[in-house]
Each structure stands twice: as C-alpha cells, then as structure tokens.
Structure 1
Amino acid sequence: MSGDSSTLRPHGGYRRLRSFQVTEIIYDGTVAFCDRFVDKRSRTHDQMVQAARSGRQNIAEGSRASATSSQTELRLVNVARASLDELLLDYEDFLRQRGLKQWEKDDLEARRVREVGVKTDRTDPSDQKKRYSEWLDHRDPAVVANALICL
C-alpha cells in the first residue's frame, strides 16, 4: 500500500447536506403530524416516527462513515432511502384510507412546497423550518401529509 495511510477522505459535515436538512424537517414534521392526527398508542404512530428518525440518523451515520468506507456510507444511505420510502407509503395510506386527496406532482400547492427548498438559505436550517410552517402547522391533516410527501 502506498501513500499516507493516515489520510482519510473528507467526511462528516452532514448538517450542511441538503438531504440531512430535509430529513430533519421530515422527522420533526412527522412527530408533530403523528402526535396531532394518529393515535399515540397505535403501531402506525411508532412506525412512522421511527421511519422518519431512521432516515435522518442513517444520513448522518453514512456521512460520518464516508471517511473510512464508501460501502458503509452507501449501505446507510440506502437504509435511509428505504425508511423514507416506507414513510412515504404511510402518508399515502393515511390519505387514501380517509378519502383525502393526494396532491398531484404539478398541483399548485405541491409546487409551492417544493419551491421553498429552492429559495431557502441552506446555511440556516431554522429558516427552512419556518418557511414550511404554512403547511406543517395547518389544521387540515391532508395539507400536512401532502406537504411532507412533497419534501
């Protein structure tokens, strides 16, 4: 093996990653959504919160692992993706089972939610959370669920 074995690839800094910032909003939004609209004693409540948490945590762990193992980083990112896919299905189920409309990709509200991410200052994560409050704090569970789907 040649070269300096003490040299590690750049890693960490996950809090600056757009994927981590979005999953943090999804996690916080999911906890609030479940506390407001899903029975706290239900398995669904726990599963949705854990799926959102897993998405966030695995992005952070993957970023930290990137210094020593691309394979571990990729595995953890794939776990995060699978967790977020599971959560997406939970939100779709919530809407469908209650006869609530799921926004189409090109619906005005869906586009407005997605545009927030484009216009947001990524150096201030608290700014992002405030920008989504119009939807995430809404009293209609369909609006909140659809906004979280858009993220």
Structure 2
Amino acid sequence: MKEEKENNKGFIPVHGGYRNLITYQKSEIIYDGTIYFTKRFFQKYDRTIDQMVQAARSGKQNIVEASMASGTSKEMEIKLTNVARASLEELLIDYEDFLRTNKLPKWDKDHKLVARLRELNKIPNANYETFKKAIENESPEICANAMIGLIKVVSYLLSKQIKTLETAFINEGGLKERMTKVRIEQRRKNTN
C-alpha cells in the first residue's frame, strides 16, 4: 500500500484495495458457500459442480483483477467488473435451476426470510460465519435461496460500481489524459 501511495505522485493513481470492497467481501462468501453447496447437493462427478464453482470464482477473481487494473486502464476495470457481474448472473441461474428442478420455491422479495437476509447484508464486515446458518441450513430451499439473495446483492452493487466507474471516467478521463496532463505540466516547469 505504501508503494501505491507513492505512485499517486505520478499519473498512476492509487489502485488495488479490493479487499475493502463490499462486492469482493460478499463474493468471497458466495464462493465459499458455493463450494459447500455443490459438495453437499451434487454427485461427485457432476459437471454442474465445476460450472458453479468456476462462475463463483470468476465473480470474485474478476473483482480483484478489475481493482488491480484500475491504475492504468479504466476501460479494463469497467470490463472486468462487468465480467464479474456476468459470472455471478450465470451462478444465480444455476441456483434457480436447482430450486426449479427440485420443485422448491424461489423466494419473492416479501418472503419473511428475505427480510432476515437483508438484515444480515447490512452487517458491516460480514463474512461466511455471518451467513453460515442460512448457507449450511438443513433445508436445501433455505441454502439455495440464501445464496440467490447474496448473489442479487452483489450483482446490484456491481451495477452501481460500474455506473460510478463510468461517471469517474467521464469526469476524470483515463491514463492517456493523465499522462498528457503530467507531461504538459512538466514542460511548463522546464520552460520557467
């Protein structure tokens, strides 16, 4: 982090810090929950396991990659953040498929346990333990719907994050603009 702050004196802004992003923190819970869920509810060699785990991993890892790329490419940051959102959407469909094929209900926004999930999602620095009773519940309906709820929250937050990145790019520009600005300032200093 100290090195990143020193870089801020040039044209590459401070970047990284993904562990502080709520989207990363919750995507880590989703990844861990998906590992648990697939081991519990699918046969050992079912291809769905790999698909779900890879989608959960991709969601989490693309948040990391976007954060690290942000210093030199706002375009890449936006693209990778959207890839994270798309991967989690794919995972969401897998959980919905699980409910449908097992004839279990998908909760609507007025379900009493959705209100509880909302409460849990408001807890600062939530981790797997925060959601463990829901994710590891004996009822597959509760497990799958809890994961769906988490994914929906992260997807919503990623959408907002993309909008914020878009606005920042419009207002501040990207690396080329920063490089040009620093170079022009340096020329001015050299001519004075």
The answer to whether the superposition gives a TM-score over 0.5 is yes
Change (3 A) 1:130 1:5: closer
- Equivalence for 1:148: 147
**Distance in 1 (alpha carbons) for counterparts of 2:13 and 2:76:** 13
Task: Select between 53-62 and 139-148 the one with higher mean Cα deviation.
Answer: 139-148
Q: Deviations over 1:43-100 (max 9, x none)?
A: 1111000000000000010001001100000111111011000000000000001100
CA shift for structure 1 position 5 = 8.7
Aligned to 1:80: 84
- CA distance in 2 between counterparts of 1:48 and 1:129 reads 18
In 1, Cα distance between equivalents of 2:15 and 2:44 = 37
Other-structure match for 1:112: 116
Q: Is the CA contact 2:33–2:128 (under 8 Å) kept in the aligned structure 1?
A: no
Bigger Rg, which one: 2
Equivalences for 1:17-56 in 2 at 5 Å? 17-56=21-60
> Aligned partners of 1:114 and 1:47: how far apart in 2?
27
Rate the CA distance shift 1:69–1:5 in 2: closer, same or farther, 3 A: farther
Q: For residue 121 of structure 1, what is the aligned residue in structure 2?
A: 124
**TM-score normalised to structure 2 length:** 0.71
Aligned residue among 24, 49, 61 for 1:57 = 61
Instruction: Name structure 2 gaps, 5 residues minimum.
Output: 1-7, 151-192
The unaligned stretches of length 5 or more in structure 1 are: none
Q: Secondary structure at the match of 2:127?
A: helix
Identity rate of aligned residues, in percent? 50
Check whether the contact 2:42–2:49 (CA below 8 A) recurs between aligned residues. Answer: yes
The aligned amino acid for 2:76 is: T
